[in-house]
Structure 1
Amino acid sequence: MNLHNTNSTHVTKKYSLSTLGIWICTVFMLMPLIHWGQTDPLPTRYQDVNVSLWSTNAIGKSNTEILTKTIAEPGATWLRLFFKDVNLGQNSTLTITSALDGASQTLTSATIGDWKNTSAYFNGDKITLRLSVAAGEKSIGLSIKELGIGIEDPNTKSQCGSNDDRIDSTDDAIGRIVPIGCTGWIITNGRLVTAGHCVGSRAQIIEFNVPKSNPDRTIVHPGPEDQYPIGNFVSPYPNSPSQANDWAVFTASANTQTGLTPIQAQGKSFNVVQSAPGNTIRITGFGTDTGIDNQTQQTHSGPLSSVNNTFVRYRADTTGGNSGSPIIDEATGNAVGVHAYGGCSGSGGSNSGERATIPAFWDAMGLGSTPPPPPNEDCSGDVSSFPFAESFESSLGQWSQATSGDDLNWSRNSGGTPSNGTGPGSAADGSFYLYVEASGNGTGYPNKRAILNSPCLNFGSLSEPTLTFQYHMLGSAINSLTVEARTNNSGSWASVFSRSGEQGSNWNSANVDLSAYAGQSSVQLRFNVVTGSGGSGWQSDIAIDDVSIQNGSGTPPPTCTALDFNDFSITSFSNQDAAGNSSIGNGGTSLTLTNNTWKFIAYNYTVTPNTVIEFQFSSSGQGEIHGVGFEDDNGLTPARYFKVHGTQNYGLTNYDNYSGGTTNYVIPVGNFYTGSMDRLVFINDNDGGSGNNSTFSNVRIYEGSCGQSANAERVTTLENVTPILGTEDEGSLIGLRISPNPVKDVFSIYLNGFAKGTTQAFVYDILGRQQAQITLQPGENRISTRSLSLGHGIYMIKLDVNNESIIQKIIIN
């Protein structure tokens, strides 16, 4: 049965002029106080319906009974059901399935109660209900009293500054709250946090793993397995609305499909702290945007504007829908509060939210009966002779474990750590090092803190104090390492160095400029480590060694040691690694890529104007791109890749001169670009065939001249080089074109030869409703609008090929 709703019920409530006047005055009086609460409710209409699905009540029935019904609302972007008179017995079930994407939800008598007699959100305009009546159960069924219908989203947008600098994000601990249009996030004890003004909307749910929206901005819901009904809100805001009360803590029931709670399913949570944040704040949430980014997860960081015991203010981009986002201290990754209000503009102002130091807020989160005191241990001693060095060969020396404000102690160790897949295999200097052992659920992780304090450091005679040390961060759940400083045993700790996430299997060198503390007679430093979260949080051992404080640059002399590829994981890069064929040779000094293969190694390095990469290259057959370069993410940046061989005009081509045999390349990377990088990319691209290879041997990275290579020594004398950037992009959708456009009937879609196999194209109208699906082949594909039953109008064609997507507009006259 199809239920086509052609009439909708409209309720109009009339107010007297005096009542309206009071409301208008109240709103304008509150505007300076509260800025703008950043919710963005789902564009929705609700419609009364009267649909029932009941068993036949056959007495003595020994077999199950299956009843089905279809509900359709043409033009809807999504549907949601509201039930009444529900009886699902002990073993009967109701399964709801979307006709658009096949997503389904199964409800029982227990779980439908958790959902407050509602369903999940289902994409598209048609769903099928399947009532499975268990044997022996009678009077099984339910009625549908109301239908929630998604409608087209209006176009609204705002942010700090003249540009929207948010980028896509995939933080598993952050979800979208609907239908109110807010953000919520998981904390370490499994509870969830949002803004207070996000409370009170009808039958709310929180969604995780949210997909991209439709081209017209209408949102797409994840499957029911990623939707959770919300309950048990704790918030003063509904009864006492004020900016100081605009926080809420809540729980979410286990998922109907998986039986998991959000923290169990997502494996990620935020550590909430009351310590003052650093100078940079990150806001991640589900703000409004244009096109496919609308109300999908995006993130941006900006400077801290001010902080007190109630509010945190900052200039990080946010839009409607960001209310409830975590306020993240960029230096540590910890949450320090909840975002609630926009107030930014291009000329000034700031966005803001409530800080976790509000006593009632902290108590509601259940993170301790009283707030943990911030570490505040006075330093002792008076180190005034430099260099002051410690490698922990026999003890901690003058460094000391914190006695309050942390959870773990640092450990001295030699050799490898007890846990597989994490920690170093040996010391960086001598035989011993210090590390934080993360093993033990509830003891070593999740999000446990370890602090190591320095003695008092007298920088009165130092003009350029510098801290150098070696650090090691290997493991699937690495959290963060921060170095902090303060003076005179007072004031807030300031971050002077921070790293988060896995940093490779080698020891890494840190060189920290402490010139801001030059001339100070009492400076204290501390190493502050937080262990990982989730089920693999034990894989987050972090180590330090060879710590030294001196005057002037602490940059160690370059060694020009070739990379040993056995020390690295060889990982697929971006979406380009089609063949994935690689091998390590010559005892670890060479890496060979074969066929269409792009790889990277984790390699944290700050590229300066003096940075050089030197390597030997050979190839048995020419492909399209053979090259190497640094990267700071998993996306393609052609202006960073030095091409040395190949038929495709791609990347930096200044050194594209390979002619055979083994050729030595000395490339002054710093003449082309600089910045903090986290990986080294090796390229052997051959979209059009197979059989070619690239071998990179004796790869050395150093600053200026390493004193071991005559070629390297002349690099310092090179003048600035003008980059020569190739004109051809890389990817399967290069050269895509639709012609003619506009079109009356027959048009062609052209795909290049790199589009292996078949490509799927989806045609949507301007409301985001799918009208057709087309299978394409490389080359020219001729298509008739009549055969697709497409009328006059504007359509969007979305193509998915080789993990790439692109959207093109076509006009049919």
Structure 2
Amino acid sequence: MKQGCALGLALVCVAGLTGPVMAQASVSNDVQIDGFEQPELRELNYNLDSGSVRVENPQQGARDLQVPVWEGIVDVPDAEWIRLRFSDVALAHSTEEVRESYLRVTSLQDGYEQYLDAKSLAEWSNTSAYFNGGAVKIEIMASPNASGQVNRVRVWGVQASAPVVGPRSICGTVDDRVLSYDNRDARLMPIGCTAWLFSDHGNRMLTAGHCGPGTGDVIQFNVPLSSSGGSPQNPPPQDQYPVDGSSVQQASSIFIGSDWAYFGVFDNSNTGMSPGTSYGVWHDLAPSQIPSDGRPIRITGYGSTSSPVPASWYLVQKTHVGPLASIVGNTVRYATDTTGGNSGSAILDENNQIAIGIHTNAGCSSGGGSNQGTSLFNNDLQNALANPQGICLPRDIQASVVARPTHVQPEGGDEIVLQIDNLQGHSVVGAPKFIVNATDGTSFEQDMVDNGDGTYTGTFGSYYCGSSVSYSFEIEDEEGTVVSVPASGTFTTVALDDLTIAFEDNFQTNMGWQSYTTGGSSTFIRAEPNGFGMGDPDSDADGSGMCYVTSNISGRDVDNGSVWLLSPPINISGVEDGVLRVSVWMTGTGPDSMDIEISTNAGLSFTEVTSITSTNGQWQDLSYDIASLNPASNILQMRISVTDAGADTTVEGGVDAFKVTSEVCDNTPGCPADLNGDGALDFFDVSGFLSAYNAMDPSADFDGNGSFDFFDVSAFLSAFSAGCP
């Protein structure tokens, strides 16, 4: 294992280092809007750098287990908690043999761990979660057979704690708050405010505008007691969520009655879930303004404390109920105890358990008075709630096909089932649509049958045997949003009397494909496509997850040469009515090309069967009749090249869903022109032939030579004229 220094660990002790305390917020928390204290902290600048590290002794066959290839320790001896700031992070990406590298950060005080890959590092703005204690261990975790790629991490800064006592806004002489454990309410760090979940969306939150949520801030649930000295402690990383800066909307001018912020958090990098999904609770918003009638108001939040309240209650969740004092315009007043750190708390109508506003300001004292907040019915806040941004945008209904058919019977009647996986708070309106288009000209849209258990059934029609059948689904929710399955394009099957799969590869494992490069950069790799916006796919063709793509690295495409992908040898002996099928993706311009070649003589020579410049931003299904290739042996191979012809263009390629099948059609002897199989020759057969011919469907290859030309038209007309027996 790579070491951080000659002693075996990189140990960075920053005791005695000093750094600037983070800037104070410009607006008050619970005092009038003229000054504000947040939890005191330090920003410490220094350098811990792993350098470039890689696996020195790769272990073949151990792909499923990442191992540490470097570790280092950051230690701030006088800190009760720390948070790391990263830069120059390079993590090996996934390839056909290697899983993506990631960082593992572990608190040496309580053993809590956080896992950060390239995606979650971006969501966390190159920072870690908050960790208890002053020391953490950082490890680079890489696949043990990843000998060809380097990894690196640099820690350039540490945010460290120092306790402080905040201002009071207690209504009377006694702090009546008690400890609380409500996962609707969270702590916003590092500012030291309160924020709260609302709606079943799972990621949406509200707080005070002067708390200023933004990129780099962190929301914490299940916050433990502070230390005996009053320094805030932190929950495990699975209870911490980074703020999505692109989601933030807040009051443009902050004053009492106009002090709000609406934002969202990313899903947790350890669990992959939103806080709403993890905890299953959230605040419900009041549908209308309540009367000013003295009803009980609850404030729950992460306020500061002072003696005689225990120091361990500092900035942990506490709650109190007091009477509603008044609602005037957009300002809500109540005699409920709060202190600094409560800013952003929900103003909760205790009788109806609905949130009516956001706590923002003090007003209480030992002589009485009332604390204050912003009504939910502030017009600007209502406009923001109606126009979410970033992660707060509505999440659509999620659905999937229970079992996609390898083929369907030409006479029709095969059923297919669509399953609703997650309603995301929506409801299905009407019946989902089952949409089918076949190369024989058949086309229909069908209302699916509700099975009453979250699944719906559709039924395939009849098609000419050998026709390619494309299908998709549409689901409409109560807001009129239509969700397509798949999200783009269609699923594809084929109408056959019988189908036997001789060889199939969805590229979830390495089945012997070889990739190489001639005269240029990039290569074919087997991976989950990342979709970096340079004409490369963002998903595979068959939904299995992985495929072969060129590069799969941001900003890199095929340049000034060719990349090649060669299939393993495939034994086609005994394959009756054999068809080779493959899905391809190509982005190119002008002379750029994807060339597909097939060898039927055990790889001695290859014949080009297709040349493509572009698939227009989608996967394209190709099929080849093996008999028409006049195989010279029982061994078949495919070779695909993607070429950048040298111009300043973007070139990307992909390959997926490769299979060799036996596709049998038992058509009625003596009546090949009866394309729709109804026993009569009429206009519909002519229309079916023309549709199949234009689509280059094998059913229109009447002379069986693998090409589509005048001779196929002539053969069809002759068969049509001969009639049915």
TM-score after normalising by structure 2: 0.46
TM-score after normalising by structure 1: 0.41
Q: Which of the pair has more CA radius of gyration?
A: 2
